[in-house]
Chain A
Amino acid sequence: MIPTKKLTKDQAKHLIDDIDKLSAPLFDELIAKWKNNIVDDFSFEYNELRNKVIAVYKESKPFGWYETDLKVGFALYREFNPANGFSFVLASDDDIWRYLSCKVFPDITYERYPTPEKEILEQGGHINHKRFYSHTRRIWLKTLWWYIFLSWQGSEAETYDVLRRFGVDTISDLIERTGQGYRLALYRQLMYDYSRVKNKNTDLFNTIQKQNLVNCRTTEPALVKDAEKGYLGMLFRQLSIEIDDVDRRTNE
């Protein structure tokens, strides 16, 4: 049974506000605990998940934030898997992610995003509220799960093979540009095709996403010849983007 405890926005806000209000010595004490990954105020059902995620986090951290994001995302996806009943409805429920961020994984969420927003900092706060609970498309653990889900290529190995070449900006560019909504098949094909792009630069994925949103106003990718694959071929040609001739899926 997948644990799906919830924390409402208000409950999360109170919890984080309380941390923001801690005196300097008490806050330092809390951070010292978090640095040693000591977190105990969560339901026991999450023990196994927490141990797995923390182990992955520690292993991947030396390889940079993107690698860490990916590996934590996969670890979450393994547990909160659609095949195990973690439905679209549950995955979209911010309260479930708020519980995970604020109760189960506050230590690594804080370490990943240690800088609070400007206005929070000005009020003497310490915590990045958006990444913990307040911004639906920026709750860190939620973005990682969705990044894996929207990029899924059929297996973890194939998905990793596609995603390993990208960077942290790709996560936000994918998650935050929803348009009318996510077209799952299109996004999965897009991530695969983008992994075959020869010369990637930091703005390229963003440019693709923007043009895609414009095109989708008139064109429905699933209805183009060869569906999403055909549509993306047109989109890449439109933007003069070259991709590797070799399609790893077909070896053509």
Chain B
Amino acid sequence: MFFYPTLTDELLETAGFSLTSYIYSYNVNDLDCRLIGKGKNVVKFDDDTWRIERDGLRIRRSIVIEYPEYLYGKSGIACEDAELGICIIWTNKTLKQMGTILPGNTYRNEASSVYEFDYLFEPGTIKGDLCLETQLYIKKAAEKILLGEESLMNDEGVKVGVLDEVHLDLGSMYMEFPIAEINDKKLPMWWLELSDWSEPQKDLFDEDSLCIYLNTAYELCPKMGETVKYADVLIDIITTVYVMLYRKVSDCGCLANTINDVDLEEGSISKILYYFKDSCKTDIDFSTEERMHKTIWMNVADMINGGDD
């Protein structure tokens, strides 16, 4: 919840925002090799010759605001005398790091403002996942605040609207879960260990909060690695894990906030469960646990088996 006006869908449309899709590529012997991403909210790459840790990742995109004047003044989100900027905030949950990307090139094209981004994640700097959130922020505060602009945010560096959010899955989907392998025939083929968390909206989705144990003593146990062996078993495991997590989140009284993205901290257990729900093609039916299980299974199967996008 914000106590100042932020970007709305209506304003986004009125101001004429146009965002190109990201262009992803990597460098091989000074050749820029394109990567084709599959998926909209969660993007995956199928290129076997590319490895993020070894090859890095270059991202490019342009953003045009056709009528930027609508963003300013008492009906907008910044004072007439202020300047708005656009940046991409990246988060790499696996390595617990984040940063800010500013446009390399900004110019006016007739009445439009154009922002061009071109950024290279060097090899060895990111792994596992990458979230790219394009944000509008107050770049320069207004010196003069006009009548009617008192409620507008006027502090430099403050974010006033999300333009879009893209998640790159740089491993396989199930690898987003903290996973440990064990080898012990006296133990089950897999189990989920949940630590004693009670605030899923804040507690981080990491190994300290939860861990899936895969017992390689069983032949059918899915193996960790580049390709998925025994995918059907893996689908059942991941489905059950999601059901258990939603149940625990519900026990904590946070299910409604979790599925509606209310007050969720980035990287928290609830936020990850929200992303999962949001990326599902088939709506998850939360009305009963059996229905939840069935609808989650359909989505997990689709993700692991690689449905058409």
Contact = CB atoms under 8 A, between A and B. Distances in A.
Interface stretch (B177-185, B246-254, B288-296): B177-185
A178 B202 CA distance: 11
A223 B85 contact: yes
Contacts of A219: 155, 157-159
Size class of the contact patch on chain A: 20 to 34
Contacts of A181: 91-93, 95-98, 267
B156 interface: yes
A94 to B, nearest CB: 8
A10 B181 contact: yes
A66 interface: no
Contacts of A136: 206-208
Interface in A9-28: 9-10, 13
A184 B206 contact: no
Contacts of A180: 91, 98, 265-267
B139 interface: yes
Nearest to A225: B156
B206 A89 contact: no
A219 to B, nearest CB: 5
Given A88-B95, A89-B95, A180-B91, A223 B100 contact: yes
Interface string A56-97: 000000000000000000000000000001011110101000
A224 interface: yes
Given A218-B159, A223-B137, A182 B98 contact: yes
Contact of A10 (B124, B182, B265): B182
A32 to B, nearest CB: 31
Interface in A208-252: 217-225, 231
Interface in B85-136: 85, 87, 89, 91-100, 123-127, 135
B91 A223 contact: no
Contacts of A135: 208
A178 B96 contact: yes
B92 A178 contact: no
A223 B156 contact: yes
A183 interface: yes
B157 A223 contact: yes
Size class of the contact patch on chain B: 35 or more
B53 interface: yes
Q: Name the prevailing secondary structure of the A interface residues.
A: loop
A85 B54 CA distance: 12
Interface in B53-101: 53, 85, 87, 89, 91-100
Given A89-B125, A225-B157, A9 B180 contact: yes
B180 A220 contact: no
B100 A224 contact: no
A195 interface: no
Contacts of B97: 88, 181-184
A178 B204 contact: yes
B157 A231 contact: yes
Contact of B180 (A8, A221, A222): A8
Contact of B53 (A89, A179, A218): A89
A6 interface: no
Contacts of A224: 156-157
A88 B124 contact: yes
A87 B158 CA distance: 31
A92 B95 contact: yes
Contacts of B94: 92
B98 A218 contact: no
Interface of A: 8-10, 13, 85, 87-90, 92, 94, 135-137, 178-184, 217-225, 231
Interface of B: 2, 53, 85, 87, 89, 91-100, 123-127, 135, 137, 139, 141, 155-159, 180-183, 204, 206-208, 265-267
Given A8-B181, A94-B207, A223-B139, 6 more contacts: A10-B183, A181-B97, A182-B98, A219-B155, A223-B100, A223-B156
25 contacts: A10-B181, A10-B182, A10-B183, A87-B123, A88-B125, A89-B127, A92-B94, A92-B95, A94-B207, A136-B207, A136-B208, A137-B208, A179-B267, A181-B91, A181-B92, A181-B95, A181-B98, A220-B89, A220-B135, A220-B159, A222-B100, A223-B87, A223-B157, A225-B141, A225-B157
